[in-house]
Amino acid sequence: MMNGGINMCMRKLKIGLDCDDVLYKCNSYVIQLENLKRTAEKREMLDFDSLTSYEAAGNELDIRFEYFKSREFYESQPIIEGAQAFVSELVGMGHDVFILTSIDSRYGDIRRQRISEDFPDVKSENVFISSRKDIFSVDIMLDDAVHNLQGERAVNTPFPILMKRPWNEDCRGIMSVLNYDEFIELVRYIEFSNYVGIGFNYNNVCNLIYVNEANKFYEQYEEEEAEPCRLISFEEMMKKYCTEMV
C-alpha cells in the first residue's frame, strides 16, 4: 500500500545470527575451564580481555584451540544469558531468523542438536553449519568475527552488525552492538527505514538513528530546562552503534 508516495508495507526481514560468542559462550567458557585447572595447579589466571586476536596469537591464550577439539566442550557450552529470550523476541517480531555457524564437521551433530533444544523458535531448515558464510544472503547479520562481515569471506548482507568482543576492538567502519538490546533497537530502525520507503540503505538507517537520538537529547534538556542546548554531532551519536570510522 502507498500513502503519499511512502511505502507502508512492512517486510519480513531475514536475520542471520552467528553461534559461538553470540548465542553460546565459547572463548569465555574456554578461559573459565582453563582457569579452573590453573587454580588447582596454582598457576597464573588467563584474562578474557587479553584475548585480542581471533586467530592464534602465539601466547598462552592459544590453549583455546585444544578445547575446540573436544566433543565434551560443545556438549557443555553454556548459553549466553538472555540469548533464548533474544531469539524468541526476533521471531516474535515476525522475522525469519537463521543461525549460520561454523564448526568442525566432527561436532556438527552436537551443534545442530543443541540449537534444536535450546532455540526451538528457530526452524530446523533455518540452521546452517558451514565455514562458507559467504554463500548466504540475509538482510541483517550479527557476528563477532570481522571476517564474516567484511571481505571475501563475508556474508552477503546490506547490514553487517558486529557483536563487540575483545578480539574485534580494533575493527573500524562497521556498525556494532554491545548486547542484545542494542541489536533489537537497530533492527527496529531498519524495520522503520523499510516502512517509510527508504529501503535497506546503510546510510539512511544511520541518519534515522542520528535524528532519533538528537530528538531524545532535545527532549531531555527541555524537561530539565537546561541551557544552552547543544545538538550532539552525528559522529557522537554513531559511537553508540558503530565502531570508529577510519
Pairing of strands 2-3, 6-7: antiparallel
Higher-confidence residue of 17 and 208: namely 17
- Separation of alpha carbons 174 and 243, rounded Å: 6
200 — pLDDT class (breaks 50, 70, 90): low
Query: Taking the alpha carbons of 191, 193, 194, 199 in that order, is the dihedral positive or negative?
Result: negative
Q: What is the pLDDT of residue 4?
A: 37
Q: Which residues lie below 8 Å from residue 59, measured CB to CB, with a gap of 6+?
A: none
Per-residue pLDDT tens digits for 40-93: 887 888 888 888 887 888 888 888 999 999 999 999 999 999 999 999 999 999
Run of H or E residues at 14: strand 14-17
Question: What's the CA angle centered on 99, arms 177 and 189, to 5 degrees?
Answer: 40
Cis? peptide before 228, omega within 30° of 0: yes
Phi, psi of 227 (to 5 degrees): -135, 150
Per-residue pLDDT tens digits for 88-134: 999 999 999 999 999 999 999 999 999 999 999 999 999 999 989 99
Q: What is the pLDDT of residue 70?
A: 94
Give the C-alpha distances (Å, rounded to integers) separating 93 from 36, 88, 203: 40, 9, 24
Burial class (CB in 10 A: 0-12, 13-18, 19+), 205: buried
